[in-house]
Amino acid sequence: MSKYAMVIDMDRCIACHACEVACRSHYDVPVPYYRNWVHDLRPEGVYPEIKKVSYVGLCNHCDDAPCVKACPTGATYKRKDGVVVVDKDLCIGCGLCAEACPYGARYLNPNNNKIDKCDFCIDRVSEGLEPACVATCIASARIFGDLDDPDSKVSKYVSNGALQNVSDTVNVGPNIYYFDSHNNFQVVKAAFPPKVPKMPTPQKVWTNVLKPLFYIAIGGTFLGQLAAFATQLFKGESDVKE
Partner 1 sequence: MGQRTSKLNEDIKLDHDLLRGPRHLTFEEKRILANRVMKKHGVAGVTLHWVNAISWFLLIFTGAALLSADYLKFAPDWYLDMMNGIFGTKHAMLHFHIAVGVFWVTTLLLYGVFGYKNYLLDFIKHDLTIDKDDLKWFPAKAKNLAGKLSHYEMPPQGTYNAGQKAYAVVVAFSTVTLMITGPIMAFHIGSPAIIQWSMMLHFLATMSVFAGVFVHVYMAALFPEERPAFFSMITGKVNELYAYLHHYKWWKEVKNDEHVFFAKELKKDGIHLSELEECKSIKDHVVHINNIEGNEL
Residues at the contact surface with partner 1, assessed by CB under 8 A = 69-74, 89-90, 92-96, 98-99, 108, 112-114, 200, 202-203, 205-207, 210-211, 214-215, 217-218, 220-222, 224-225, 228-229, 232, 237-238, 241-242
Cβ closest to partner 1, residue 139 vs residue 210:
210
Cβ closest to partner 1, residue 106 vs residue 142:
106
Q: How far is the CB of 115 from partner 1 (least distance, A)?
A: 9
Q: How far is the CB of 65 from partner 1 (least distance, A)?
A: 12
Residues ≥6 apart with Cβ < 8 Å to 109: 29, 30, 33, 115, 116
Cβ closest to partner 1, residue 193 vs residue 200:
200
- Supply angle C-alpha 195, 200, 201, rounded to 5: 140
Q: How far is the CB of 217 from partner 1 (least distance, A)?
A: 4
CB contact at 8 A, 54 and 41: yes
Cβ closest to partner 1, residue 98 vs residue 141:
98
Beta-bridged to residue 78, according to DSSP, are 84
Which amino acid, residue 72?
A: P
CB contact at 8 A, 107 and 117: yes
Q: How far is the CB of 72 from partner 1 (least distance, A)?
A: 5
DSSP assignment string, 23-47: HHHHHTPPTT--SEEEEEPPPEEET
66 upstream amide cis, omega within 30 of 0: no
Q: How far is the CB of 187 from partner 1 (least distance, A)?
A: 32
Considering only CA atoms, which of 181, 171, 186 is closest in space to residue 60? 171
Q: How far is the CB of 63 from partner 1 (least distance, A)?
A: 17
Cβ closest to partner 1, residue 161 vs residue 220:
220
Cβ closest to partner 1, residue 41 vs residue 108:
108
CA 50 – CA 60 distance, rounded (Å): 29
